[in-house]
Amino acid sequence: MPELPEVEVVRSGLAPAVAGATVVAATVLDDRALTRHGGSAAAFEADLAGREITGAARRGKFLWLPLVGRDGGVPSDAVVGHLGMSGQLLLRPSGATAERHERVRLDIHHPLHGEIAVVFADQRTFGSLAIDSLVPTPDAAPGGRGTELAVVPSQVAHIARDPLDPAFRDDIFRAALARKDSAIKRVLLDQTTASGIGNIYADEALWAARIHPGVPARALSTRAVGRLLAEVRAVLEKALAEGGTSFDAQYVNVNGQAGYFVHSLNVYGRTGGPCPRCGRPIVRVSFMNRSSHYCPHCQRMPRPPA
């Protein structure tokens, strides 16, 4: 599933193409792509036609395109998207042949770039698009990366800020961990505590911070939490710089290109291989219907107090 770096790569690729563009037409080819939308496919198409897009924003794994109201003014709603397991948002020339698994197409006109097609393709149909109202952020800070507006789609309002967001509060994160008995990896995957990290980058950050994925969150010292946050940010930034992680053709950027962070992974997917730090074998264990990868030597579970 695409995680923060992959979704941010898509957002940053969309932004220059959609900011200031007008939707000429919206075409829904598969209603399953609108599972989060409150109305019909016909209403989705009609509501978008003629609307101006102001940019592309992201919080965690959610993307949204703010829309100027028909009477002008500050955007009050947006096209909000979640890529799910295999969703792709692609930029194509206007009139381009339909993509395999294409579900929705937005034909837009940009004052500089001309006619463009924004294509939502999704093989497994777990992703979705919707038109959603924008609501104020509780902290009055911008809603996410790519926007200065202190609003967020209502469907995204429950999602916490991600560790790369300038408005992310380290002190609030530390306080949340101090209240949780759950394993630290479970907490890292909780999108209401910190968003966008996901399974791959949780494993990588925990390895870099030398923290066992099963350690109770509240057992971590302030220093350990600080080290973990630093490694989470370092891993996410490196993944961003390398275009994200692509294990197959399902995750690509807006031009259809794969990311190459897969070559920088230290533990995820490296079961049985040598730990880059100590040389001992990496192990894989079942965790929350997925897998955890870690080094039992470098990431030891602390002994309970006597």
- Catalytically annotated residues: 2-3, 61, 290
**277 marked ligand binding residue:** no
DSSP, collapsed to helix, strand or coil, labels residue 90 as strand
Task: Give the span between the Cα atoms of 104 and 32, in whole angstroms.
Answer: 10
Other CB atoms within 10 A of residue 280 CB: 12
Residue 15, C-beta contacts closer than 8 angstroms, at least 6 positions apart:
55, 56, 146
Q: Is the Cβ–Cβ distance between 108 and 18 less than 8 Å? A: yes
CA 34 vs CA 41, 115, 149, 160: distances in Å: 7, 24, 25, 24
| Residues facing residue 131 across a β-bridge | 79
State whether residue 240 is helix, strand or coil. helix
**CA atoms of 73 and 193, how far apart (whole Å):** 33
Residues 135/151, Cβ–Cβ less than 8 Å: yes
Task: Name which of 202, 180, 177, 178 is nearest 189 in CA terms.
Answer: 202
Give φ, ψ of 304 to 5 degrees: -65, 150
> 180 among the known binding-site residues?
yes
Whole-angstrom Cα distance, residue 188 to residue 193? 7
Any known ligand binding at 105? no
Q: Alpha helices, DSSP H only, in the chain?
A: 4-18, 41-48, 170-178, 184-188, 198-209, 222-241
Any idea of the CA torsion for 155, 122, 256, 159, to the nearest 10 degrees? 20
Q: Which of 227, 183, 185, 207 has its CA nearest to residue 274?
A: 207
Residue list for the binding site for DNA = 101, 124, 180
Residue list for the binding site = 101, 124, 180
